[in-house]
Chains A and B, each alone.
Chain A
Amino acid sequence: DQQVKQNSPSLSVQEGRISILNCDYTNSMFDYFLWYKKYPAEGPTFLISISSIKDKNEDGRFTVFLNKSAKHLSLHIVPSQPGDSAVYFCAASGQTGANNLFFGTGTRLTVIP
């Protein structure tokens, strides 16, 4: 049972425009959320995170929004650059065990020059 879902397998955006990647989760015990970026043949790299006590976290061009009532988070990239083309994974964690992360299936972002 997929507890974290990314319903859009792919997204294409023009360079300079905003990219919005979406993620939904089902487990109300999740209290920490992360986004990872992955290039082909490389491991995922951590991008940005947010705790459930916040509804927004910003780091440069990247902003994550959390809507707890809707169990939804999104990643905004502004402005999008060709180097942002990658697969983006959403992940969520609750305070159990080794704080395991539950990952979505990923969204492939293509930024068109």
Chain B
Amino acid sequence: DVKVTQSSRYLVKRTGEKVFLECVQDMDHENMFWYRQDPGLGLRLIYFSYDVKMKEKGDIPEGYSVSREKKERFSLILESASTNQTSMYLCASSSVPRTQYFGPGTRLTVL
């Protein structure tokens, strides 16, 4: 079974803090993705990566950055957390075929 793990299930941070969300997959997938999910808006793509050290902006990259130093690990960084970044963050990975497999999510609250 594909396993995607995320470092935290719940996280509470203060405005202005730097936040790191970690994602690890164990299936040697080339592609990894970060989404945020908000009520009524579905899943919105923040960043994705199709290879080590490669990254591409998704639909809503502002306020975020990413790092992919190893194939199995994809990190999402909030440089200076703001209250409008309170959300559920979901990591996914995929290979061929195009099915993406998701981690359990991190519920981030920024106060």
Contact = CB atoms under 8 A, between A and B. Distances in A.
Contacts of B58: 100
Contacts of B49: 98
B100 A101 contact: yes
Interface residues of A, number: 23
A32 B97 contact: yes
A111 interface: no
Interface residues of B, number: 30
Interface string B33-54: 1010000111111001110000
B50 A105 contact: no
B102 A44 contact: yes
A30 B42 CA distance: 19
A98 B50 contact: yes
B31 A41 contact: no
